[in-house]
Every structure is written in C-alpha cells, then in structure tokens.
Amino acid sequence: MRRVGLCQDRLVDELSEEDFQQLYGRWQPFTPRKVADLLDGAQFPWWIAGGWAAEASGAPARKHEDTDIAVLHDDLPAVRSWLSGFHLWEAHAGSLRPLLPGDELRPEREGLWVRRNAESPWVCDLLLTRSRDGQWLFKRDARLSLPLDQLGRTIDGIPYLRPSVVLLHKAKALRDRDQQDFEGMLPRLANGERVWLEEALAIAHPDHPWRARL
C-alpha cells in the first residue's frame, strides 16, 4: 500500500505505508458503528462521508484507510467539547498542526485528524462543512446547496451523506476508486438523486463524463 503524505508545506507523493507511519503515526480508522457509539448523544449533526458512505450506497467493499465524518463548521466548538478526550490536528495543504485547547482554527482549514494521543492511531478525519441559514453549501461552489435535513440518510441507525452528495465530492479527483464507487452506486441511485447530481455536475464540473451516464 502506498499513500500520499503531508510534510510541512508540501505534499509527499507515494510514501510507503511504513514511511507514512514513521512520519505521522498509524491509522486504525473507526468503523461507522464505532463512530456512532462515539457520537451517541452529541448535540450536533454529523454524517459518515467518503468511502464508507459510498459503500453503504452500493460501492464495492474495500479496505478503508481512514474514516471521514462530515460536521458543520459552525458546530466546531461543540465538536471540540465532545471530543475533549482526543487530540485534534489541522490537516491542510500539506501540513499538520495540533489544535490545542484555546487555539483557534486557522482560516481555510476544513479537515481535522483525530487520535487519543501521540501513542495512539488516528481514528477519523473530521470534514468541516459550511452552511448558512439551514442550508448545506458545497465547498467548491456555494451555488450548490441543500437543506441540512436533506443532506443525509440513516442506514441501520447511522447517518451517512446522501449518495449524490458523496459522488459530487468524488467527482473532482476521479481516481480509480472514485470511478469504481460511481459504477457501484449508479444502479442504486434513485431518479431524484440522478437528477440532482447531473444538475450539480453541470454547474461544478460541466465537462464531467459522469453526466452522460446519468
């Protein structure tokens, strides 16, 4: 396994798993069920995102190198309070920085890696999601929005981002695994999901090859 690493102010491509762990420590991501146990009773909304959300919506099962959890940027104080027993690190543009108690999140930061302490593995990646007046805003184009109560769906008691939103986030990179996720999810996309995703891609990625498939 090879991973892209973070090193001060630049990305380090193609690190071996061993080299990655020596630099940053190992990942042992929580399963969605373990995330649900961790956040049970939290007074802020959250949704499983990324590969786990894709798998819940029909994508092929695979090993998950991390676990993405979408939370609202405005809820960050409540999130930090709930996870006070963990260490949170800003992950942004090729750098990692501990978000110590009393520290403010720096501008343009959208991701936080989470672990118990330096001797423990990373367990999840918090994705700080923008919203306004009860509407989710797509981070790459604020013209795309949804009511927050329509952003996800619950499967076996666990909230996940809705399939069309998962694929919209994956559309930019279009890695092999993103294409595999699309192929697995497409047959299970409801008509409303297909229409919304096609219209969203027309705005955010007008030349995207997925549009012809929707």
Residue appearing with tokens 């959250």? 46
Q: Which residue range is the domain that position 68 belongs to?
A: 2-213
Looking at residue 61, which CATH number applies to its domain? 3.30.460.40
Please tell me the pTM assigned to this model: 0.91
* Single-letter amino acid code for the residue at 197: L
As a 3-state breakdown, the chain gives helix, strand, coil percent values, each rounded to 5, of: 35, 30, 35
User: Residues with Cβ < 8 Å from 139, sequence gap 6 or more?
Assistant: 110, 129, 130
Distance CA 101, CA 81 (A): 10
* Single-letter amino acid code for the residue at 60: P
Residue 92: phi and psi, rounded to 5, are: -155, 125
- The total of structural domains in the chain comes to 1
Spell out a b/e string for 182-208, using b for 16 or more CB atoms within 10 Å of the CB, else e. bebbbeebeeebeebbbebbeebbeeb
Distance CA 173, CA 186 (A): 18
Distance CA 122, CA 116 (A): 8
User: From first to last of its 214 residues, what are the pLDDT tens digits of the chain?
Assistant: 344 444 433 444 556 767 777 777 789 999 999 999 999 999 999 999 999 999 999 999 999 999 999 999 999 999 999 999 999 999 887 678 999 999 999 988 899 999 999 999 999 999 999 999 999 999 999 999 999 999 999 999 999 999 999 999 999 988 999 999 999 999 999 999 999 999 999 999 999 999 999 9
